[in-house]
Amino acid sequence: MIRNMFPSAFFALALLLTPATANAQSDNNTARGIITNQLEAFIARDFDLAYSFASDNIKQIFPTVEQFMAMVEGGYLPVLRPGNYAFGNTDNLSEGRIKQDLLIRAPDGSDWTAIYYMQRQPDGSWKIDAVNLRKGAAGMT
């Protein structure tokens, strides 16, 4: 009898987890799309568009496109002018927060990992809330 209950219980648990997994995957895909859109805006030198992907928190710290771009140009050159790039690990940190790794080849040929922190905004949209940049690709020694 216990044997017969296990498949039913497993199936019921799978049904309960599927919507959450599907929602998380949808959110992760949305986050990747936003990061891609910002990178493409940087490449196209459409800085107003690039700024539009920043969270409200970032916009409070850098209230103008000019201030935002001064920050990006001063410390995020691999993000501003990426060569090749590829998405790495994704972590759903908590409700409304995602951490997304991005592996970047900089214009000088060096490898970098940009760790994007995405935040769901009050209107339900996803925005880039922070980026930590470190030299070397994730997983390299």
Residues sharing a CB contact under 8 Å with residue 20, sequence separation 6 or more, in sequence order: none
Q: Which domains does the chain have, with CATH numbers?
A: 2-135 (3.10.450.50)
Strands 97-105 and 85-94: antiparallel
Give residue-wise pLDDT tens across range 25-61.
888 999 999 999 999 999 999 999 999 999 999 999 9
Give residue-wise pLDDT tens across range 85-135.
999 999 999 878 999 999 999 989 999 999 999 999 999 999 999 999 999
Cβ neighbours, 10 Å, residue 104: 22
The pLDDT assigned to 12 comes to 45
The pLDDT assigned to 23 comes to 81
The pLDDT assigned to 9 comes to 47
pLDDT over 60 at 16, yes or no = no
The pLDDT assigned to 139 comes to 54
